[in-house]
Chains A and B, each alone.
Chain A
Amino acid sequence: MNEQLQLDFDKIIKTLKISEKEIQLKKSFLKKFIENGFPNRKQEDWKFLDISQIIKKNIGELSFFNDYSLPNKIDPSIFVDGLEHNKIIFINGRIEKIDFSYEDQSQIEINDEIGKNIKFNYENSLIDLNNAFTNKVYKILIKKNYSLKKPLIIYHSTNNKIKSKNVNLSLNFGLEENSCLRLIDYFNDNTDKNFVNILYNFDLKKYSILKNYKLDKFRNNNLKYSFNNIEQDDNSISETFILSAGSDYFKNEVNCNLNGEYSSAFINGVFSLKENQQHEIRSTINHLVENTKSYQLIKSVLGKNSKSAYQGRIFVDSKAQKTDGYQLSKAILLDETSEFNAKPELEIYADDVKCSHGSASGSLNENSIFYLMSRGLNYQQSKELLINGFLLDVVEKITDSEIRNLVKNIIGLEE
């Protein structure tokens, strides 16, 4: 694999117009990745989802070079109906279109920031991989006091031109004071056996609001990894909703640093998994100053042979008094082959805090099914009703009503 990496890396460097310094930086990331390789289950954070094995067993040899010289045809049928929105379209990892036609152009700035790689202060070889191979890194800056009129939908599509490829993409978002962004990641794949590696970095200034919805609904055989790093200043709010249902393997990571007082972070997630799927959400919330708040709710419905994992970590610094941290994960196991893993972790160094976590897992309540059946529903209907009710709880947490309805439509939930 290492030869392939080096070879593909050299090809990419040739196509990029970047300075020598930036090349050196990319090289150092590649070197780091080659040293560490794909994460495997020996690493604590990857205990439940062994990417290295999954790639070996399900994808085989990956190649890392993507030819981005030719544009792909955009298929408008993938667009979300019934919701006016701005668009960024990625096809096979290539940015095909950036369209902010609903917005005041002077309030949004888009810059190419390929050289400015973001470093995280902890080891993650997939981020190194991403930094080494991304060919374009745009920074989207929302100016002071501006709220986007319409939500921004980022389409992540793949078409049959790629197979056994690693696709790396990265975006940076800056939200200036008192600005607001609603962002939907919409996954739509017509391929299988690819590995998509997404890295987002958000910088939230005072009073800004970020709402990020990741919707992975359509069934495909790809492996996906997404990492959101969110830096939050005073009074900022971030809301992340993850619908994890479509891909064969999907790991969503959210790392949230609450750097400013009165900032708050919300993470809600739904796993709805069927045959042979393995998904994971891993969240890290770092409460670093006083009066910050976080709330997490994760629910899983697990079908045959599926496996979900939730690793949630709340860290409270000794300075972060009056922290409020809450975590809850629940799972319904529908089949004897389904598996649920949880590791809700608290690491607390301040004494005046309210932190709690809870986790519960089990099968559908037979009594509830009996109740519904005695009211005239059949077994299947009762089951569906109960599952919908279980998941609706999380969807209701979406604060934006337009998007809440969209998500309900996508999942097929009715009130």
Chain B
Amino acid sequence: MDTREKDIEKLKDYKYGFTTDIENIKAPKGLNEDVIKFISNIKKEPQWMLDFRLKAYERLKLLKEPNWQKPKYPKIDYQDLYYYSAPKSMKDKPKSLDELDPKLLETYKKLGIPLQEQARLNGIAVDAVFDSVSVATTFKGELTKHGIIFCSMSEAIQKHPDLVKKYLGTVIPVTDHFFATLNSAVFTDGSFVYIPKGVKCPMELSTYFRINASQTGQFERTLIIADEGSYVSYLEGCTAPMRDENQLHAANVELIALDDAEIKYSTVQNWYPGDENGKGGIYNFVTKRGLCKGKNSKISWTQVETGSAITWKYPSCILKGDNSIGEFYSIAITNNHQKADTGTKMIHLGKNTKSKIISKGISAGYSDMTYRGLVDINSKAKNSSNYTQCDSLLMGNKCGAHTVPYIRNKNFDSNIAHEATTSKISEDQLHYCQQRGLNSEEAVGLIVNGFCKEVLQQLPMEFAVEAQKLVGISLEGSVG
């Protein structure tokens, strides 16, 4: 009996034990040292990884959940969550797509992600995450040729411990805020990308996240390292099936760009937003942070947020290297009872650093949408500049749109410009479109897509099409 099985034996004594009936292996409910040890053990992690988790857990015990955000949510009982669940077929890792659980493949098809075709047609290497463990990684060969490492986090911990050890937790330390620390303690899996020196990644890397088992908080951990002179574009897309209970998703994403490297990170998030009355839906409390560590490095975030009951995230850039660039393009759409509090942080530390923020918020129904951002130019960040534009569009008078920018300029050589507007779709525009034969819903879709254009065009081709459709779908039923 290996250690993992022993552990499973041991944990069977717990009140809730394992629920293998729905093809899932679950850690017992609740958060404690044993659960963390269990996760670490089942993933056969080395001691340093376990220490990392335990350190985070120690810290977590001292932390309080933040409550300064605009969207309030019912208290989460962290002892009532499962921190680990894996599809059963994971026990023997499939070597190819054909070996996958047919049920799994079917679910993906329903979601419109035909894994094989999509991978082949689009030239995308898909690292599909079902619940918490990666099940398929394609196009590995092509990537290996260039020396690119694209694998699941657990694999990276086993095969590339030096890289993981060196970079994990350097951008989001274990001592960070509550949700980030929680993730550090209990993260299950995620993606790991390493682009070697001077390599331009030949294809868009993509991961589809899925949340499946009810009551499973998903704790993804993504780490992307772009070595000197390299380039990578990474796509993240999410869908989730209908669930009544609120599900917590607290992922951590760390990006590190060394000298002259560029990382482009795009997200289309369309998780279950709850029903029309605001029941159910996913809590999306994600920590995303990029570090422009080297000179002339660049990190660009693009996000289209249409799903989740509550979205609460601030993809940030720390511009440490001289001449580094940070960009943030965002569309956030809230409808019905959805709530979003999102934005970015641009922290300028190096000389000649530049950042650009374009944020478009659209709220309809009874929803609430907040842009919250920080631009901080340090006294050493000579000759830096920032440009921020955040526009909000309101549809109806039951929703809210808020802008809360924080601007700190400590450097007299640097410029910060910020503008924000709030408006509604004008009758003239609607009238014009309708005159030309569009119905009111199509007209709104067209106008909103125009409003979002600056952001949509930042997305890679395949995503842009999907995102454009999503923008239309998200606002269905909000006019008239």
Residues of chain A whose beta carbon lies under 8 Å from any beta carbon of chain B:
44, 318, 321, 331, 333-363
Question: Are B415's CB and A360's CB within 8 A?
Answer: yes
Residues of B within 8 A of A349 (CB): 397, 399-400
Residues of B within 8 A of A336 (CB): 379, 411-413
Residues of A within 8 A of B76 (CB): none
Counting residue pairs across A and B whose Cβ atoms lie within 8 Å, the total is 115
The answer to whether A355 and B421 touch (CB under 8 A), given A336-B379, A343-B406, A350-B394, is yes
Extra contacts, 6 of them, besides A347-B402, A356-B420, A357-B419 (Cβ < 8 A), are A339-B410, A346-B420, A351-B399, A353-B423, A355-B422, A359-B417
In the complex, 30 of the A-B residue pairs with CB atoms within 8 angstroms, ordered by the A residue number, are A321-B397, A333-B411, A335-B412, A337-B379, A339-B409, A340-B408, A341-B406, A343-B407, A344-B420, A345-B402, A345-B403, A345-B405, A346-B404, A348-B401, A351-B395, A351-B397, A351-B424, A352-B397, A352-B424, A354-B422, A355-B422, A356-B419, A356-B420, A358-B419, A359-B405, A359-B417, A361-B407, A361-B409, A362-B415, A362-B416
User: How far is B412's CA from A338's CA once the two chains are assembled, in angstroms?
Assistant: 7
> What is the interface of chain A mostly: helix, strand, loop, or mixed?
strand
B396 lies within 8 A of chain A by Cβ: yes
A51 to chain B, nearest CB (A): 19
Question: Are B419's CB and A343's CB within 8 A?
Answer: no
Of residues 366 to 411 in B, which have CB atoms within 8 Å of A's CB atoms? Answer: 379, 392, 394-411
The answer to whether A361 and B400 touch (CB under 8 A), given A337-B379, A353-B422, is no
B418 lies within 8 A of chain A by Cβ: yes
Residues of A within 8 A of B403 (CB): 344-346, 357
Residues of B within 8 A of A333 (CB): 409, 411-412
Category for how many chain B residues contact A: 20 to 34
B48 lies within 8 A of chain A by Cβ: no
User: How far is B400's CA from A181's CA once the two chains are assembled, in angstroms?
Assistant: 36
The 6 nearest A-B residue pairs measured at CB: A333-B412, A362-B415, A351-B394, A359-B418, A342-B407, A346-B403
Quick one: closest B residue to A48, CB to CB? B408
Quick one: closest B residue to A336, CB to CB? B412
User: How far is B176's CA from A133's CA once the two chains are assembled, in angstroms?
Assistant: 43
Quick one: closest A residue to B392, CB to CB? A348
A274 to chain B, nearest CB (A): 14
Quick one: closest B residue to A313, CB to CB? B404
Interface centre among A344, A351, A352, A356 (most CB of B within 10 A): A351
A379 to chain B, nearest CB (A): 16
User: How far is B400's CA from A342's CA once the two chains are assembled, in angstroms?
Assistant: 22
Question: Are B408's CB and A341's CB within 8 A?
Answer: yes
B418 to chain A, nearest CB (A): 4
B330 lies within 8 A of chain A by Cβ: no
Question: Are B402's CB and A358's CB within 8 A?
Answer: no
Question: Are B396's CB and A363's CB within 8 A?
Answer: no
User: How far is B403's CA from A67's CA once the two chains are assembled, in angstroms?
Assistant: 47
A159 to chain B, nearest CB (A): 37
Residues of B within 8 A of A360 (CB): 415-418
The answer to whether A356 and B421 touch (CB under 8 A), given A318-B397, A348-B400, is yes
